Amino acid sequence: SSELTQDPAVSVALGQTVRITCQGDSLRGYYASWYQQKPGQAPRLVIYGKNNRPSGIPDRFSGSSSGNTASLTITGAQAEDEADYYCYSRDSSANHVVFGGGTKLTVL
């Protein structure tokens, strides 16, 4: 099955912009979705489809995709955005689902 690759850790200064990326062959055929997870909590969907935010997700979160790479961008990162972020997609066969390994975001 396919894999999705994420950088293990990224940091950003408070108020600055950060991009978290996800690479994998399955992303050529399926959109990624992105999940935020804080310690002790269930994951929460933050971006899906071409660039859609569920209700309640701040508009500083946005998504994009090109070729085999999907990106989650936080414009004006806040302290409360410090969390683990996971990308997710169907795999190329559509019979399985795959998560990226996760990116730990630190807001300095």
Q: Give residues in contact with other proteins (CB under 8 A).
A: 1, 29-31, 33, 35, 37, 42-45, 48-50, 52, 54, 84, 86, 88-90, 95-102
Of all helices (H) and strands (E), which one includes residue 88? strand 83-90
- 71 forms bridges with which residues in the sheet? 21, 64
Residue 15 CB, nearest distance to other proteins (Å)? 28
Neighbour-count burial of 24, counting CB atoms closer than 10 A to its CB (0-12 exposed, 13-18 middle, 19+ buried): buried
- Please say which residue, 81 or 86, places its beta carbon nearer to other proteins: 86
Q: Least CB distance from residue 77 to other proteins, whole Å?
A: 21
d(CA 108, CA 25): 33
Shortest Å distance, C-beta 48 to other proteins: 4
